[in-house]
Amino acid sequence: MENRTFLSSRNIGLDFLRALLILEGVLYHAARSLPGGNNWYYISGKNEADGFSALIEFMHTFRMEAFFFLSGMFSAMVILRKGSSFFYSNRRKRVLVPLITAFLFIPGLMYLISAEIKGERLTTQGALGAYTYMHHLWFLVSLSLMSFFVPPRFYQGAAALMRRLPFPVLIAALIVAANAFFVVKFFVKDAGEWVSLIPVTLRFMVFYAAGYALYLNSDQIPRQARSFLVNTKVVVALGVFCWLVFYAIFHFNITSSLKYLPVLSASVFSVIFSYWVVFTFEKLRMKENRLVTGVVDSALVIYLMHYPVVITFAWMLDRRLPDTLPVTYVAVVTLLGLACSTLIYLVIKQLPLLSLLFGLKPARVQKVSAIKSRG
């Protein structure tokens, strides 16, 4: 079923896209400190920015969906080209080890920051309790579960089933499946973060399996790419509609069952967007350069490290920036979060042990590899 023309060589554009989807989380977490009724570590006194908040929330409804779609697609590619043994080894180095490394200190650090913000006394019980929360590491837990506990034959069977469906029917089936697990998540939301992770993982596994199937059934891509559903004008129009629905909920402070309408409408967009963005970026043939390569290489470490940094800056800068500039406030916090996290990445990159723990190749190893390739 493999199409040799689809991803026949490394596509830096899709790698770059996946990195951008990860890094958008920095902006999202910075924006969560704006007022708006959300439960967050620190809520600022800034004026509400309905249009901006609606945009951020809308972006969050398709960011991780597209990320898992790409992850599934690249997983299929690696398994077919290099075998399952290489895939599992790579997943351990690039996903599982960084997850364990980050979990060793992120919950404890977040407990210290949260206690300082709230003015609470530190306790041993509180410190131990902090490790019952995953914080922003949940997606690596979900990705590990999909990779290590679900055999490739399951995704291959799903791909064979998806192959038999007309593209519009496939899109509809994915939307229904993803929303079914969203409903399950709603019913278990009070059962704790680890229980809630089960339907969350299953929901994102729908996108992972769809991406996996896309690569296996890539001979169908030319026909799928011509569908009106992934026409750029249709995708843009649907995106604007979803943003407007989010805006209406924020602006009119709707608390009835209608508040779920933005998420439901965005669930349609997220499936369509996942296909559209792959079809679009795969054709771009972006040229590799130091900036693009740097973003791709650093994205995971920056994302892992930004969380405590962004929340701390959101707390410290609230009184230093006017309440009338909520978007500027978020922009400054985001830039500072990216800058500090990048500096941490550069330090980690220089140290072989830390590079190993965060799934990176040490800078010196990369330089030697580059010299050998030139020779």
Q: What would the DSSP string read from start to end of 36-72?
A: SS---S----PPP-HHHHHHHHHHHHHHHHHHHHHHH
Q: Is 363 part of a structural domain of the chain?
A: yes
Predicted confidence at residue 183, as pLDDT, reads: 86
- For residue 364, the model assigns a pLDDT of 59
Residue 4 inside a domain? The answer is no
What's the number of domains the chain is made of?
Answer: 1
Domain membership of residue 7 (yes or no) is: no
Extract long-range pairs of 117-125: CB within 8 Å, 24+ residues apart.
Answer: 117/41, 117/42, 117/311, 117/315
The answer to whether 270 and 62 are in contact (CB under 8 A) is yes
Q: Furthest-apart CA pair in the chain: how many Å? A: 66
The answer to whether residue 5 sits within a structural domain is no
Q: How far apart are CA 137 and CA 303, in angstroms?
A: 9
Q: Is residue 348 part of a domain?
A: yes
In a domain, 296, yes or no: yes
> Average pLDDT of each block of 10 consecutive residues along the chain (375 residues)?
55 88 96 85 93 94 96 95 95 97 97 96 94 95 97 96 97 96 85 91 97 95 94 97 95 86 94 95 81 93 97 96 96 98 97 96 59 46
DSSP letters, 226-291, are: TSGGG-HHHHHHHHHHHHHHHHHHHHTT--SGGGGHHHHHHHHHHHHHHHHHHHHHHHH-PPP-HH
Question: Is 1 part of any domain?
Answer: no
Q: Is residue 6 part of a domain?
A: no
* pLDDT given at position 186: 82
Domain containing 17 equals 12-374
Nearest CA among 268, 263, 173, 262 for reference residue 230: 268
Q: What are phi and psi of 188, to 5 degrees?
A: -110, 15
How many distinct helices (H) and strands (E) make up the chain?
A: 16, 0
